[in-house]
Chain A
């Protein structure tokens, strides 16, 4: 059984009398332990999809199943990692990481111990008592990853988590994420508009069409792991990159034509 199943999911928003179809008849199933990247032009409804899995918004039609049950509300089994970190500024690193456990009413001593373990996992030992404002962007994103994982979610939802980081930090974070996710055998649904990022990370890449978002292509990425920057020069890698790029480019063009028509 798939861990996550999108069944004919559509989402439309009506604003000022205009209805926008963000996602239409989206079908996808994600298996346990898979790392799936969704790639698509901006405005294709990628984030809408993720927000629906997390339960922040409801599909207009169709449904999303988590372990066979439809998602109807915000579900802690889907651990969300935001691009802007969304850390609690008034809590220290330790306080942030143990938040989910505290909500579960886990005894203080136990949750502290567990939180420290996750802080160590993301390499932030020694920073337990720092506030987020005292940390760099890369460190903040490490905290959010530890915070989400400490809550032991079934699936990690990541919405362009590294987009705000500089190129060097981003690369370090990508490698770290793979190490952690494989260590913990976590299923991950990752959104990005960087094809390189997707190719470094994913077991599968799902390319979305321009709005309304649909699955345009579902590619299994059969590149050896661990993947390094040097692998980006291999023929296999370049073939994948070309295929994806052509596919995405079509959609970008369509998006631009659509925008032009709207202007005219």
Chain B
């Protein structure tokens, strides 16, 4: 059999080329566009009904301000530079606390996932800390660290570290043992297996864990800011409530929602770059 013929046969064997995978069928594309239009209309209707409920006096704006009132409040706080500073403060706290948490949890999780001894050492401690809600750390952290930035990082850290560690350990355990066997068979040593096989093999699950825990980190910081802070979205909401400024309460909530969504989109972009091999599977 000639080599050319062989290659021709092989090419026929290929189910899809990358270009084919990328191009979706026209019908599917149209359905997606249609669904997007429906989604946009849905949001518009939701906001319109909300506005109407307030305008026609069905619910008092003191309890539920209309979207336009929230918008006006937003413009005002924006012009004073307050809302931006709040978003920035909260985001910074989340990212720093969460970052420290991830920097420690990923290597420790990789080690605990691969070493039974390390797991035996840390598992009991982990299982005691894990059920504690981040909120329960607030009093102690204030006692130790006051109400400065460090205390905020600490709360985010305490709230995200244990769940993240559990996610990483689980991700490591899910790496196909056959692939690890294959790597060893090709001459990989212990450290090489960890770096070349277990880390990339666990990465997709680690990333989805990070995504879930990032949302947890946000609940931590909002709570911490409500209890003791002079800036941040949690503080803004709590402060507005004390002044019976319901539009500002809702503005703060919208602020959280928009910020978390934005970070989520950014995260997904980073994720796509970090695990390009998952592209064709989705």
Q: Which residues of A contact B (CB under 8 A)?
A: 54, 56, 74, 76, 78-80, 82, 84, 86-91, 99-100, 102-104, 123-125, 130-136, 138-139, 147-148, 151, 169, 172, 175-176
Q: Is the CB of B10 within 8 A of A151?
A: no
Which of B10, B15, B188, B200 gathers the greatest number of chain A CB atoms within 10 Å?
B10
The distance from the CB of B181 to the nearest CB of chain A, in whole angstroms, is 6
* Chain B, 224-282, CB within 8 A of any chain A CB: 275-277, 280-281
In the assembled complex, the Cα of A131 lies from the Cα of B18 at a distance in Å of 10
Q: Which residue of B lies closest to A84 (CB)?
A: B178
The distance from the CB of B79 to the nearest CB of chain A, in whole angstroms, is 49
A selection of 18 A-B contacts at a CB cut-off of 8 Å is A56-B185, A76-B185, A79-B186, A82-B181, A86-B176, A86-B181, A88-B179, A90-B275, A103-B189, A123-B6, A123-B10, A130-B18, A133-B277, A133-B280, A134-B16, A139-B13, A172-B6, A175-B1
Q: Is the CB of A74 within 8 A of B184?
A: yes
The distance from the CB of B1 to the nearest CB of chain A, in whole angstroms, is 7
Q: Which residue of B lies closest to A86 (CB)?
A: B182
In the assembled complex, the Cα of A136 lies from the Cα of B1 at a distance in Å of 21
Q: Does B201 interact with chain A (Cβ within 8 Å)? A: yes
Q: Which residue of A lies closest to B185 (CB)?
A: A80
Q: Is the CB of B277 within 8 A of A131?
A: yes
Contacts of B181 in A (CB 8 A): 56, 80, 82, 86
Q: Is the CB of A103 within 8 A of B186?
A: yes
15 A-B pairs besides A88-B200, A89-B201, A90-B203 with CB distance below 8 A are: A76-B185, A76-B186, A78-B185, A79-B185, A87-B179, A90-B201, A99-B186, A102-B196, A103-B183, A132-B277, A133-B280, A134-B280, A138-B10, A139-B10, A151-B187
* Count of interface residues, chain B, beta-carbon cutoff 8 Å: 35
In the assembled complex, the Cα of A91 lies from the Cα of B196 at a distance in Å of 10
The distance from the CB of A57 to the nearest CB of chain B, in whole angstroms, is 11
Q: Does B197 interact with chain A (Cβ within 8 Å)? A: yes
Q: Does B23 interact with chain A (Cβ within 8 Å)? A: no
Contacts of A99 in B (CB 8 A): 183, 186, 188, 196
Q: Scan B61-84; emit 1 where CB is below 8 A from any A CB, else 0.
A: 000000000000000000000000
Q: Which residue of A lies closest to B10 (CB)?
A: A123
Contacts of B16 in A (CB 8 A): 134
Q: Is the CB of B280 within 8 A of A80?
A: no
The distance from the CB of A83 to the nearest CB of chain B, in whole angstroms, is 10
Which of A76, A86, A100 gathers the greatest number of chain B CB atoms within 10 Å?
A86
Q: Is the CB of A104 within 8 A of B187?
A: yes
Q: Does B136 interact with chain A (Cβ within 8 Å)? A: no
Q: Is the CB of B280 within 8 A of A74?
A: no
Minimum-distance CB pairs A-B, first 10:
A76-B187, A86-B182, A100-B186, A103-B187, A90-B200, A131-B277, A80-B185, A74-B184, A86-B178, A90-B277
Q: Which residue of A lies closest to B182 (CB)?
A: A86
The distance from the CB of B260 to the nearest CB of chain A, in whole angstroms, is 29
Q: Is the CB of B14 within 8 A of A135?
A: yes
In the assembled complex, the Cα of A104 lies from the Cα of B187 at a distance in Å of 7
In the assembled complex, the Cα of A131 lies from the Cα of B200 at a distance in Å of 14
Q: Is the CB of A80 within 8 A of B182?
A: yes
The distance from the CB of A203 to the nearest CB of chain B, in whole angstroms, is 21
The distance from the CB of A84 to the nearest CB of chain B, in whole angstroms, is 6
Contacts of B115 in A (CB 8 A): none
Q: Which residue of A lies closest to B200 (CB)?
A: A90
In the assembled complex, the Cα of A100 lies from the Cα of B277 at a distance in Å of 20
Contacts of B182 in A (CB 8 A): 80, 82, 86-88
Contacts of B33 in A (CB 8 A): none
Contacts of B13 in A (CB 8 A): 136, 138-139, 169
Q: Is the CB of B184 within 8 A of A139?
A: no
In the assembled complex, the Cα of A138 lies from the Cα of B10 at a distance in Å of 9
Contacts of B185 in A (CB 8 A): 54, 56, 74, 76, 78-80
